[in-house]
Amino acid sequence: MRATTTLYRPVGQAELDLIRESNWTAFPPRLPEQPIFYPVLTESYAAFIAREWNTADERSGYVGYVTRFEIDAHYLLGYEVHKVGKDAEEYWIPADTLPAFNAHIRGAIAVVAEFRGRPR
């Protein structure tokens, strides 16, 4: 059995609906204005984004979810971890390589937290 790495991804309602449509096995393609897919290394950083950004965003349905998933650790060796804040680290996955990224997910994508906001 290959070693895996646990990653997290904050998502809004529309993205979660597409993940559900994939039977919890894949993240949907990026929109044209989203050239990079950003999975993060900690649940706390994903929760911060879901709570502070997604709940204030109409396109996210004013809801933020934290997803957790396992991916082949060997596959991630082709990408650098980017430190984007004091306790914030993420991978930058080019949108055109997302199908390959999805192919290396092991098991189901799980929702581990939910945050709700309201229009401001």
The residues, ordered by sequence, that sit 6+ positions from 26 with a Cβ below 8 Å of its Cβ are 19, 102, 105, 109
Give the global pTM: 0.94
Fold of 4-116: ADP-ribosylation fold (3.20.170)
> What are the Cα distances from residue 11, in Å, to 46, 64, 77?
9, 6, 24
* Matching residue, tokens 């894949």: 26
Question: Cα(23)–Cα(70) distance, rounded to whole angstroms?
Answer: 15
Domain ranges of the chain: 4-116
Grouped pLDDT means (10 residues each) for the chain, 120 residues: 92 96 97 95 96 90 96 96 92 97 98 86
CA distance 11 to 46: 9
